[in-house]
């Protein structure tokens, strides 16, 4: 009963603070919209410039093949433009208005025809130009180069000793670049609540509310659980709102939304625990805001939520590799959401991630309660 009273009190206070509540709910959808605007087609298109000096038909055929390269969704993978001036092409590369510049030589068709007849001569030299500091250069060059390499093999009649057969997991073959970011953004929408948790609890300390409650028979656990529950609920709502915005903008969901909400709710428990730890060491709301940035950075950038990171293996247990970043609950949350929403997996396929997330979330939460009691409440 006491927990329920604290729950309603905390919930009403969060609702009354419309600015903080609004920002907490909007941050996830904002990131989804931002990524959608950054990737309007849902996939990155790499600019390829081609100067065709070939006197035969094969040079033009290569250009047509490059233009036909698309994602499974049908969106163009390469933005191919023919250009007659090398200096102009290099200017476009410097300005990063294109990633790769190919020069097809004059003897390209002649060389391929001679090679197909078994003739021996010097190979035609296809020139590749690009800014090596441009992160998109390597991707564009490999894609375009593969098309040219495949075309040369077909024209010359060479037989490849092996053939690759690619099998995509789930619906991963049809995922756009926009889709790939969504599981991480969903977790970010929950992790951002570390601010509202730490600042709300610290405000209660500053306002003297906790001191007044010390005069009653209320236990510390009643108080902290009552404060925590609204934040967990807010985390679930935030994840749901972010997911709905992502779906409205074209996110290709393959799994259960209820499973995703379960993952978000468990992650929110860990976030509450971190918020309690921050509040335990904060003497003011402004100090809580500053301290909360540090765990936020770790959760966002070392869990794979923002971008993939290499695993640092610590130990191997029962055939499972335990990495350094597995100590962060969001690491398992991102992995679980990726399997659920991208690969269409059920909860039975993410049991390891769910169990790890539950254990770590409870651990962080219990540590938070213990530290907060020890440093702020001191209830006997």
Mean pLDDT, the chain, whole residue set: 79
The half-sphere exposure of 43 on its side-chain side, counting CA atoms within 13 A, is: 19
Phi, then psi, of 103 in degrees rounded to 5: -120, 115
Query: Is 46-156 CATH 3.40.1710.10?
Result: yes
- Consecutive H or E run containing 81: strand 78-82
pLDDT digits (tens, 9 = 90+) for 199-228: 888 887 777 766 666 666 666 667 777 778
Q: What percent of the chain has pLDDT over 70?
A: 77
pLDDT digits (tens, 9 = 90+) for 123-135: 778 888 887 766 6
43 C-beta neighbours (distance < 10 Å), count:
20
Regarding predicted confidence, which is higher, 11 or 166?
11
Bridge partners of residue 132, in order along the sequence: none
CA–CA separation, 142 vs 121, rounded Å?
A: 26
CA–CA separation, 2 vs 325, rounded Å?
A: 37
Q: Which of 130-134, 254-258, 279-283 bottoms out in mean pLDDT, i.e. has the lowest?
A: 130-134
Helices 58-67 & 135-156, crossing angle to 10 degrees?
130
- Tell me the pTM: 0.68
**Looking at residue 258, what is its pLDDT?**
93
- Ordered by start, the domain boundaries in the chain are 2-39+176-377, 46-156
CA–CA separation, 376 vs 380, rounded Å?
A: 12
User: CA distances (Å), 139 to each of 70, 88, 145, 252, in order?
Assistant: 14, 22, 10, 24
pLDDT, average across residues 151-179:
60
């Amino acid at each position: 009963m006491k927990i329920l009273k604290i729950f309603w009190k905390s919930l009403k206070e969060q609702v009354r603070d419309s600015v903080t509540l609004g920002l907490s709910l909007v941050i996830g959808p904002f990131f989804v919209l931002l990524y959608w605007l950054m990737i309007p087609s849902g996939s990155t298109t790499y600019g390829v410039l081609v100067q065709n000096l070939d006197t035969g038909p094969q040079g033009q055929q290569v250009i047509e093949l490059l233009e036909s390269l698309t994602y499974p969704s049908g969106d163009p993978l390469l933005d191919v433009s023919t250009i007659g001036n090398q200096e102009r092409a290099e200017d476009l590369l410097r300005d990063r208005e294109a990633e790769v510049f190919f020069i097809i030589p004059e003897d390209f068709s002649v060389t391929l025809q001679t090679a197909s007849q078994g003739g021996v001569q010097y190979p035609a030299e296809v020139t590749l130009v690009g800014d090596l500091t441009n992160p998109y250069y390597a991707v564009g060059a490999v894609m375009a180069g593969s098309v040219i390499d495949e075309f040369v093999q077909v024209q010359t009649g060479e037989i490849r000793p092996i053939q690759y057969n690619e099998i995509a997991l789930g619906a991963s073959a049809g995922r756009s670049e926009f889709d790939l970011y969504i599981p991480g953004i969903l977790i970010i929408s929950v992790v951002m609540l570390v601010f509202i948790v730490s600042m709300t609890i610290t405000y209660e300390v500053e306002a003297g509310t906790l001191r007044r409650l010390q005069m009653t028979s209320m236990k510390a656990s009643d108080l902290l659980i009552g404060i925590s529950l609204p934040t967990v609920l807010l985390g679930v709502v935030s994840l749901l709102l972010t997911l709905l915005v992502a779906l409205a903008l074209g996110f290709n969901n393959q799994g259960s939304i209820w499973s995703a909400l379960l993952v978000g709710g468990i992650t929110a428990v860990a976030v509450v625990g971190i918020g309690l730890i921050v509040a335990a060491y904060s003497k003011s709301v402004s100090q809580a805001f500053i301290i909360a940035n540090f765990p936020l950075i770790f959760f966002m950038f070392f869990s794979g939520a923002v971008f993939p990171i290499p695993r640092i293996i610590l130990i191997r247990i029962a055939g499972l590799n335990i990495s350094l970043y597995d100590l962060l609950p969001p690491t398992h949350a991102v992995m679980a959401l990726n399997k659920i929403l991208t690969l269409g997996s059920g909860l039975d396929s993410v049991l390891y991630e769910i169990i790890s997330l539950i254990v770590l979330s409870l651990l962080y939460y219990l540590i938070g309660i213990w530290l907060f009691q020890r440093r702020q409440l001191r209830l006997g």
